[in-house]
Amino acid sequence: MLNLTINGKLCQAQEGSTILEAARQNGIHIPSLCYLKDVHQYGTCRVCVVEVEGMKNLQASCMVKAREGMVIHTNSPKVRAKRKMLYELLISNHPKDCLSCARNRSCELQALGEELGVTEARISGEMGPCHVDVSPSITRDTSKCILCRRCVTVCNQVQEVGAINAQNRGFDTVISPAMGLPLNSTACAMCGQCVSVCPTGALTETDAIQPVWKALEDEQRLAVIQVAPAVRAALGEEFGLPTGTRCTGKIAAALHQLGFDHVFDTDFAADLTILEEGTELLQRLQSALTGGDAVLPMLTSCSPGWIKHIEHAFPTELDHLSTCKSPHTMMGALVKSFYAQKVGLDPSKIFMISVMPCTAKKYEIQRPEMEVHGRRDVDAVLTTRELARMIKAAGIDFANLPDEKFDDPLGLSTGAADIFGVTGGVMEAALRTVYELTCGRELPFEGLHVTPIVGLELVKEAAVTFENVLPEYAFLEGVTARVAVTSSLKGADILMRDVEAGTSPYHFIEVMGCPGGCINGGGQPRNREEGYREKRMEALYTEDETKTLRKSHENPDLQALYQEYLGHPCGHKSHELLHTTYTPRGLYNQLVK
């Protein structure tokens, strides 16, 4: 421990802490802007400056390490005056159109001004570069950028994609893809992690609220909506509910109040995914174990950011991907076929909306592959944040809504579907079903949780041995299936380098594009609270544990769907509606053969 004096108070801090961290450990708040735990590298904004006795200049407390015996003043008149000046300089070339900005009242720059007591903008002059770049998922407005470089760090160090970086110099500096290319023409995965960390309105999701309101107003169209698992673990945060509050029932109620004609649950499609993907895995294992040429390891395909990334970074390895569409596009395809037929609707009148924790899904629904017989699977994707804005605009008191249920017949789900929203969840759900279908008994893990793959570590692995299998799965007898799980594209690259080299020891790999999985997706509420990912993860595991049915194949409505309509998993109808193909893009979209 280090001993130091902050504002006249004797403090102790952990070795290696910065001054900012040391102060926080002792309950002393230093105003800051660019600092973000785990995503901090540069110290560009200088707002967190403090006085350190014996040092001539003010020090950026986020960058300077605390040392034994330091005497620090975080709140002297000099410090306060300098912070204010720094802030005024920061906003001197900021548009200041806060009242009509998407980040109004959720903007860190705005909040800082209030905190510092800034009541005037004395400095005005030339404005910085203004480029607006609208991609299917992400909208960039460089005029609102304060060059904090949080997005550069998440894109380059956390995800290791490097789609954006600082370009040019000095006043002309702009955070952008190479040579001012639009984001959509780069190897950007559209994961939206940059949007999550942006403190201002410079990076936002590309709006889908307007088309959804239009669809709701249009009497000729039927507005059908579905909600992803991770949304229920986070939406409440936008309405002041504690992080980790499960809002499943309130979400169903809010969507009914907003006037959607049918409110379905992507969880149902997650159960469906397990049946399709699990069957595909068994088919591949059977082929590989009996001398066939099936490609292993199989890679999960539910995360569209991950899909876009592998198409750019490993275009020759696409055979490893499961051919299953992501759950929400499966749902879209089912609503416009099975459901439309069941209730006698014209599928062309259906406007299918997905509420997702994800920005990449906005891009995904525009992929040419995501349609059946010329009908788009999904017509619009709202992020969790966007749904919150709609609920607020409709004047719905979300926090006090009574619980309601999702609509039949695409609203019932098992606990296995809930954990799709967290890293390791898809793998666990698949193992629960595959093991039981092949061995005739439950997966031998306590509480059905495959503990080695639970948690937020970068790469996790587990092994499951199939013993005393049912006669029709004799090929699996004694086989130990090795599985790996990762979240973030950096983790994906680690596992993919072995896959590419042909040395991967695994049979099945789950990849989620965002660190922690969908609970931390690029479309989720921006939460700066310590441990928010753990709390959201806990919410989904609780959601799973409180359900009677916890294995996808036990979902009675899903069983009925196969009986009535699909036939059997990976059958003809499934392939027509629920499976897809991939495009080898290459790093520069040069379309690799």
Q: Which residues pair with 149 in a beta bridge?
A: none
- Contact predicate 246/542, CB 8 Å: yes
Nearest distance, CB of residue 417 and other proteins, angstroms: 36
| 325 assigned to active site | no
186 binds other proteins (CB under 8 A): yes
Catalytic residue selected from 82, 250, 361, 535: 361
**Among the listed residues 23, 50, 145, 163, the single contact to other proteins using CB under 8 A:** 163
Nearest distance, CB of residue 107 and other proteins, angstroms: 26
Catalytic residue selected from 51, 238, 311, 364: 364
161 binds other proteins (CB under 8 A): yes
**Among the listed residues 143, 153, 176, 520, the single contact to other proteins using CB under 8 A:** 176
| 336 assigned to active site | no
| 120 assigned to active site | no
**Cα separations in angstroms, 69 against 25, 78, 100:** 16, 22, 48
Each residue of 371-401: b (16+ CB within 10 Å) or e? bbeebbbbbbbbbbbbbbbbbeeeebebeeb
Nearest distance, CB of residue 490 and other proteins, angstroms: 13
- Amino acid 11 reads C
| CA distance linking residue 279 with residue 569, whole number of Å | 6
| 472 assigned to active site | no
- Contact predicate 420/426, CB 8 Å: yes
**Among the listed residues 31, 177, 297, 523, the single contact to other proteins using CB under 8 A:** 177
591 binds other proteins (CB under 8 A): no
| 362 assigned to active site | no
Each residue of 122-136: b (16+ CB within 10 Å) or e? eeeeeebbeeebebb
Residue span 19-38 as binding mask against other proteins, x where in contact by CB under 8 A, dash where not: --------------------
**Among the listed residues 7, 156, 184, 583, the single contact to other proteins using CB under 8 A:** 156
| 11 assigned to active site | no
Site residue total, other proteins (CB under 8 A): 18
**Among the listed residues 25, 76, 165, 287, the single contact to other proteins using CB under 8 A:** 165
| 547 assigned to active site | no
**Among the listed residues 1, 81, 123, 178, the single contact to other proteins using CB under 8 A:** 178
| 439 assigned to active site | no
- Contact predicate 416/274, CB 8 Å: yes
| CA distance linking residue 299 with residue 297, whole number of Å | 6
**Among the listed residues 169, 291, 374, 478, the single contact to other proteins using CB under 8 A:** 169
Beta strands 298-299 and 508-512 are parallel
Half-sphere exposure of 126 (CA within 13 A, CB side): 4
Piece of 1-9, 158-166, 217-225, 505-513 that binds other proteins (CB under 8 A):
158-166
6 sits in the region (left: phi over 0; alpha: psi -120 to 50; else beta) called beta
Token look-up 């698992």 returns 229
Catalytic residue selected from 62, 188, 194, 302: 302
Residues found near other proteins in the complex (CB under 8 A): 156, 161-169, 176-179, 186-187, 587-588
Hey, which residues are catalytic here? 277, 280, 302, 322, 361, 364, 369, 518
